[in-house]
Amino acid sequence: MRKTVLSVAALALLFLLAGCSSGNPSQTSESAKPAAPKTPDALTGREVFQKLYIAARGWTGDIKPFRLQSEPMPGVNGQDGKAAIWRASFASPARRGLKTYLWSGTDEDGTSRGVTAGTEDTYNPNNRATEIFDVAFLKTDSDKAFSVAQQHGGEKITKANPSQPVIYVLDWNPSENELIWHVIYGSSTSNTKLAVDVDATTGAFLRVEK
């Protein structure tokens, strides 16, 4: 009799353990699914510039920017003035050095989200390609520059191709003493359908590049 009772108890315990281990099939299936990839974060030029400027100040205190440029990627074509990848380049006159900082809002294309510092290189103050500018000149953001560019030929291009990539380049024009947003309709700066210059201080249309 005692053996029978023990056998029944043992069987009950086995069934109980089997039920606990099996759990909810739907919960097990859900937990086994891989996490969905995060969608890219996209920011305007001024938003990113503030982040990169703060990071560059950690390198040296006398930094001056000379270029900010976006990069297009699938799913973030830049048509709202935003990009998921931006690079800003800074020079240190005291150190005669320059550094480029990357901000990424995506884990794709071999980048990591957040700010990444490049390596220090030599800065030549006589090089027109690295003309530094004062941050106080940057008052107009890239989304406003895009709106202006749309009114000067860009809208025709984006209507014909809703996925048309748009790139933004910010740099100083020493001959006119002006900070310029170059709004470039193309997959790269060397492959363009249209490039419109917008004053980065006033937001005024300047010219269509030839």
Range of the domain at 22: 2-32
- For the residues 127-132, what does the mean pLDDT come to? 93
pLDDT value at residue 2:
45
Same domain, yes or no: 51 and 22: no
Same domain, yes or no: 116 and 23: no
Is residue 187 situated within a structural domain?
A: yes
Name the more confident of 53 and 36: 53
141 close to 149: Cβ distance less than 8 angstroms: no
Q: Is the pLDDT of residue 25 over 90?
A: no
201 close to 139: Cβ distance less than 8 angstroms: yes
Q: Is the pLDDT of residue 31 over 90?
A: no
Same domain, yes or no: 71 and 28: no
Q: Is the pLDDT of residue 12 over 60?
A: no
Same domain, yes or no: 62 and 146: yes
Model confidence band, residue 88 (pLDDT cutoffs 50, 70, 90):
very high
Is residue 38 situated within a structural domain?
A: no
Same domain, yes or no: 90 and 8: no
pTM for this prediction: 0.82
| Side chain identity, residue 42 | A
- For the residues 15-24, what does the mean pLDDT come to? 48
Same domain, yes or no: 72 and 128: yes
| Side chain identity, residue 127 | N
Same domain, yes or no: 120 and 177: yes
Percent of all residues in the chain with a pLDDT value above 90, rounded to a whole number: 75
pLDDT value at residue 13:
45
Name the more confident of 129 and 28: 129
What domain count does the chain have?
A: 2
Is residue 37 situated within a structural domain?
A: no
* Residue in 71, 124, 67, 70 with CA at minimum distance from that of residue 90: 67
Burial of 147 (0-12, 13-18, 19+ CB in 10 A): middle
Mean pLDDT of the chain: 87
pLDDT value at residue 111:
78
Same domain, yes or no: 110 and 26: no
* Residue in 75, 10, 76, 5 with CA at minimum distance from that of residue 43: 76
Transcribe 178-205 into DSSP letters.
EEEEEEEEEEETTEEEEEEEEETTT--E
Residues 6 or more apart whose CB falls under 8 angstroms from that of 130 comprise 66, 67, 89, 91, 98, 123, 124
Q: Is the pLDDT of residue 57 over 70?
A: yes
